[in-house]
């Protein structure tokens, strides 16, 4: 495998060319000596010590790691397996002409660093304090570049590079930062960037101690607190380490004498306005303490007693049911009045017709005997009562 860019080296004014090679330690490098216009001149390859590796297709050097890949009038190609750092240097392609021509191939050997080692100044740190982490990459060539990541955040470290006697490099990076409770369990990565290796990193999880986080939950009542009600409060506290103590107190006053404190719960029954005030839950652990307040305000008791319902969720339906009978009563009363008025009206009509009928009969009896008269004059004379028609008879109907 070859890494990096290849640089073609051509002897100025000559036909000979070769390439620089970059290879990872332990792998194979290939050197190619090429001739554009060969006039049957001999090609040979020399090592950095000017020792002949190959003369044409013959290997005088007794190093079996060198193997002939291709030989022709225009190319001599040789492979070098299991490359080590001692193989690094300038190799010479030589063409026997007059004068001789030479081209140079530089072999660069990359050495991957060992697995990084990450260390912390302290195993556990309290929130608000500063921690320091150190990451070391040993034995790389060239020197490695170290990056830091805390979660998704990139950190800036201080780096030192030390070159060893065997042309290798040891790189150390230190990073310092303050921690919060949100950093507890956060991974911190030391990432190694090097041309000879990928995905090389070391990871450490932070362990942060922090003081409690406190909140109060009203278990009862659900709505307003009124006189005569009971009050049930629960204090919830979380911290690292877990809070070892939770206390209830009343700010600037004593807790009511019949208040009951059970662990993290505060219970007060039969509230009245003298209990108004600020009630505080205090939680503490090895890091510190924290508290949260609950302000109690007791409202007046309701002036009317609400109608009990079997299903409190359907309050509106219950109220609608209560209003329905009132509407039915008004309808019944209106119906009764209408029936009575109708009956009276019918009675008046019947009585009127009755009296009208009896009035006609009276006039008929008054003219009794007139039916047998021969003419009108006789009928008048024969009229019962013998009254003269000039005496007008008046009748009144009431």
pLDDT for res 302: 85
Of 333 and 194, which is predicted with more confidence? 194
Q: Count the residues in the chain.
A: 398
Of 157 and 309, which is predicted with more confidence? 157
Which string of DSSP letters, residue by residue, matches 2-47? --S---EEE-TTSSEEEE-EEEETTS-EEEEEEESS-SS--EEEE-
Q: Which CATH superfamily is domain 210-294 in?
A: Immunoglobulins (2.60.40.10)
Give the mean model confidence (pLDDT) for residues 100-120: 95
Which of 68-82, 115-129, 222-236, 350-364 has the weakest average pLDDT? 350-364
Q: State whether the Cα torsion 267-270-273-275 is positive or negative.
A: negative
Looking at the structure, give the CATH architecture of the domain made up of residues 14-108: Sandwich (2.60)
- Based on its alpha-carbon atoms, the radius of gyration of the chain, rounded to whole angstroms, reads 59
129 DSSP assignment: S
86 DSSP assignment: G
Only one residue has tokens 């990056």, namely 147
pLDDT in tens, 12-60: 446 899 999 999 999 999 999 999 888 888 999 999 999 999 999 999 9
What span, in angstroms and rounded, lies between the C-alpha atoms of 270 and 150?
A: 54
pLDDT for res 371: 54
Residues 6+ apart with CB under 8 A from 215: 235, 236, 292
Give the mean model confidence (pLDDT) for residues 77-98: 94
pLDDT in tens, 261-295: 999 999 999 999 999 999 999 999 999 999 999 99
Give the mean model confidence (pLDDT) for residues 208-215: 96
Give the mean model confidence (pLDDT) for residues 319-337: 57
pLDDT for res 384: 47
What number of other Cβ atoms are within 10 A of residue 135's Cβ? 26
Q: Which CATH superfamily is domain 112-205 in?
A: Immunoglobulins (2.60.40.10)
Contact (Cβ atoms closer than 8 angstroms) between residue 123 and residue 179:
no
Whether a cis peptide bond, with omega within 30° of 0, leads into 17 is no
User: pLDDT > 70: what percent of the chain?
Assistant: 79
Residue ranges of the chain assigned to CATH 2.60.40.10: 14-108, 112-205, 210-294
pLDDT in tens, 140-152: 999 999 999 999 9
198: three-class secondary structure by DSSP = strand
């Amino acid at each position: 495998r070859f890494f990096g860019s290849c640089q073609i080296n051509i002897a100025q004014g000559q036909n000979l060319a070769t390439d620089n090679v970059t290879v990872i330690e332990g792998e194979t490098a290939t050197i190619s000596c090429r001739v554009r216009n060969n006039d049957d001149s001999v090609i040979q390859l020399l090592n950095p010590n000017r020792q002949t590796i190959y003369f044409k297709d013959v290997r005088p050097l007794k190093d079996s790691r060198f193997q002939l890949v291709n030989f022709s009038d225009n190319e001599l190609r040789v492979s070098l397996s299991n490359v080590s750092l001692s193989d690094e240097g300038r190799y010479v392609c030589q063409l026997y002409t007059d004068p001789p021509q030479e081209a140079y191939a530089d072999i660069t050997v990359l050495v991957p660093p060992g697995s990084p080692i990450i260390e912390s100044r302290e195993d556990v740190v309290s929130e608000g304090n500063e921690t320091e982490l150190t990451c070391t990459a040993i034995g790389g060539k060239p020197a490695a570049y170290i990056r830091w990541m805390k979660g998704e955040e990139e950190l800036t470290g201080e780096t030192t590079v030390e070159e060893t006697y065997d042309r290798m490099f040891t790189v150390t990076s230190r990073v310092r930062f303050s921690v919060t409770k949100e950093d507890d369990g956060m991974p911190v990565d030391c990432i190694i960037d090097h041309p000879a290796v990928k995905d090389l990193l070391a990871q450490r999880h932070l362990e942060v101690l922090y003081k409690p986080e406190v909140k109060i939950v009203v278990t009862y009542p659900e709505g307003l607190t009124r006189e005569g009600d009971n009050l049930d409060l629960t204090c919830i506290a979380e911290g690292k380490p877990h809070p070892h103590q939770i206390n209830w107190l009343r700010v600037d006053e004593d807790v009511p004498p019949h208040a009951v404190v059970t662990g993290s719960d505060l219970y007060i029954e039969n509230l009245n306005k003298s209990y108004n005030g600020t009630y505080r839950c205090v939680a503490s652990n090895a890091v510190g303490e924290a508290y949260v307040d609950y302000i109690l305000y007791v409202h007046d008791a309701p002036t009317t007693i609400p109608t009990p319902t079997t299903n409190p969720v359907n309050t509106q339906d219950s109220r609608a049911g209560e209003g329905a009978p009132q509407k039915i009563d008004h309808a019944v009363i209106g119906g009764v009045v209408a029936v009575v008025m109708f009956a009276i009206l019918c009675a008046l009509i019947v009585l009127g017709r009755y009296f009208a009928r009896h009035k006609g009969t009276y006039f008929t009896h008054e003219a009794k005997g007139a039916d047998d008269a021969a003419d009108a004059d006789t009928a008048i004379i024969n009229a019962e009562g013998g009254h003269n028609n000039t005496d007008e008879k008046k009748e009144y109907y009431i």
